[in-house]
Amino acid sequence: MELKINSYAFGERPQAVLPVPEFLQAIGEEGARKLVSKHYDLLVQSDIKHLFPTDPEELEHAKLRSSDFVIQICGGPQHFNQNRGRPMLSNRHQPFAITPEGRITWLECYRQAILELDIADELIISFWNYVNVFSNWMVNTPSKQTGFVTGFQLPKR
Ligand code: HEM
């Protein structure tokens, strides 16, 4: 199974489709918590680890907030709305500098975590399609442009 990462223009907010309800039915709320926990355990070892809590207790809280959201969007109880209020996720990500490259790392960590699930491919793909697309909404910082950009000329002084 190939899980590709889509590429989007900076600022593009593509329409995402929620995962099918069978995904949560297959893994259960406990499985969703484990999945998010695995994702964060990979994130804190990745090249975007500077974005995430280093304090173990804070990390547990972050896992809880994120898994509340995952359970909710997968058709489970509205844990996130109850505990945190309206998601407004791009606003909640504003304090963090999320670049297109950061999104790719974040998705690669998810890809590794979901491929460990012992469920049907189509369910994995359904979850992947959601995060692959919706993650672009969180990108709020352009790439660091190092090196030469083809076709771009500095104005003459
Ligand atoms: C489908 C895409 C994404 C979803 C559904 C998502 C979900 C969430 C949720 C629910 C929270 C907790 C917000 C709160 O309660 O305040 C959160 C926090 C956070 N997210 Fe995301 N996120 C996504 C993409 C990303 C990406 C691409 C990055 C970085 C590359 C990122 C970095 C963070 C950071 C640094 C936090 C704060 C620490 C934490 O509480 O975990 N997120 N995210």
Q: Does domain 21-138 have CATH number 1.20.1440.130?
A: no
Cα 115 to ligand 1 centre (Å): 20
Residue pLDDT, tens place only, 45-103: 999 999 999 999 999 999 999 999 999 999 999 999 999 999 999 999 999 999 999 99
Q: How much is the pTM?
A: 0.91
Length of the chain in terms of residues written: 157
Alpha-carbon distance of 92 to 83, in angstroms, equals 14
Mapped onto helix, strand or coil, the DSSP state of residue 130 is helix
The set of protein residues with a Cβ atom below 6 angstroms from ligand 1 is 48, 51-52, 62, 65-66, 69, 84, 89, 92-93, 96, 98, 102-103, 106, 131, 134-135, 138
* 135 burial type by CB count under 10 A (0-12 exposed, 13-18 middle, 19+ buried): buried
Contact by Cβ (8 Å): 106, 135:
yes
